Amino acid sequence: MKRFFIYISALLLLFSCSYSGGWKHYGDLAEVVYERPDSVLTVLEGMSVPVEEKEAAEYNLLRAKAFILYYGISDSFDDGSEAKSIEYFSSKGPAPMKVEALSLLGKRLMAENRYEDALKACSAALHYVNWDDPDNRLAKDICRDMVSCYKATGEEINDGEYLFLAWQGMNTGRVRTERARIGALLLLFTAIFATMVWYLKAKRIAADKEIAEEKAETERYMSIAEELQGKVARMKSGGADVLERLCAQYYVNEGSDRLGSSVVREVKDIIDGLRNDPKVQKELERQLNQSGDNVMQRLREEFPKWKEEDFRIYCYTASGFSSTTIATLVEKEKPYVYNRLYRIKSSLSKSANAEFYLSFLR
């Protein structure tokens, strides 16, 4: 038992040390973002945005930092992910990530010429810096930004290095650091003890609860699948709504352990039938032609060299299906669908009937 506690303690200490650097998932990229922000941007843009909230916040924060370091301005096409990441780590993150978030906020405010607000953000960031690191590039970068803000507001200051040394001198304290570490160790061992007690008491309760939840979920999906399977066959009226609900369930569960269950397997069979049944595509095109001045017929006549997949994606989009539904039906990831749709729009923009064709994709 003694060895077990020593082993657990060592693992937790190792975890805490590895996490103390801040960037849990993108540490290697964060280390080189100042030297090669363009390379970091290239790597990140070749990756999919993570689904998990904390990792997505890290991804968007690092991407925004690389972008502003390389281009000198904030990304004007940002969909709000940068602001959400800053807000996430400003409120929830450990000290190293608070520094990253607040320093990026300072850069954004500087780009908007809001120098007084930028000074406040940078000053707040410096309160979370680990001043025991004598060569902290991030702290020096923040201090340089503060110098720029002071100069922009008319105040004379010489160099960010002096500002950095001043803050370092005020905040460096070995006694404070040692006390913090001792306190952290005490909290760590308390957490270990509490976790072991909780684990022993809650293991059986958690197992019973999980079984009950799985049973309830299986019954719920079974009733949904049985209801929708009959409705999809009558796709001439209201089929799009049914298909949306089916594809949303399949897209979420595809590739997971749950996909192997009988319920999700039944939903998979329905989706496969829709993918491979030419009558479904023909019916969708008929409805679109009927309501849209023969748009699909004219499209096929004007662009005979298009792949059949392009006609399907255009038809699904014009019919109002979501990207989740389309990705499920063509058996591709969402980024692939976005790229194909971009090429379709580029091709249509060269047509004499461009306005007509593109009006169905808005």
Q: For residue range 5-31, what is the model confidence (pLDDT) as tens digits?
A: 444 444 434 334 433 457 888 888 888
Same-domain pairing of 254 and 350: no
The answer on 302 and 249 residing in a single domain is no
Same domain, 92 and 187: no
**Domain check: are 23 and 132 in the same one?**
yes
Q: What is the CATH number of the domain that holds 293?
A: 1.10.10
pLDDT of res. 345? 92
Identify the segments of the chain with pLDDT beneath 70.
Answer: 1-21, 156-180, 214-270, 273-274
End-to-end CA distance of the chain: 65
Alpha-carbon span 103 to 54, nearest angstrom: 18
Domain count, the chain: 3
Q: How far apart are CA 38 and CA 161, in angstroms?
A: 25
Rounded CA separation 18/301 (Å): 61
Which residue among 145, 172, 199 closes a domain?
A: 172
**Do 128 and 23 fall within a single domain?**
yes
**How far apart (Å, rounded) are the C-alpha atoms in residues 134 and 123?**
18
Residues 190 and 109 in one domain: no
**Contacts (Cβ under 8 Å, ≥6 apart) of 337:** 313, 323, 326, 327, 330
Specify whether 52 is located in the same domain as 141: yes
If you write DSSP's letter for every residue of 212-248 in order, what string do you get?
A: HHHHHHHHHHHHHHHHHHHHHTTTTTTHHHHHHHHHH
Residues 95 and 230 in one domain: no
Distances (CA, A) of 279 to 238, 244, 285: 16, 18, 10
At 270 the pLDDT is 66
User: 133: domain range?
Assistant: 2-172
Same domain (yes/no): 123, 204: no
Q: Give yes or no for a contact between 171 and 129, defined as CB atoms under 8 angstroms apart.
A: yes
Please indicate, yes or no, whether residues 123 and 263 belong to a single structural domain of this protein. Answer: no
The pLDDT value recorded for residue 222 is 54
Domain boundary among 172, 197, 232: 172
Residues 32 and 124 in one domain: yes
Residues 69 and 143 in one domain: yes
Closest CA to 124 of 90, 73, 80, 76: 90
Domain of 95, CATH number, reads: 1.25.40
Q: Which of 274, 294, 322 is the last residue of a domain?
A: 274
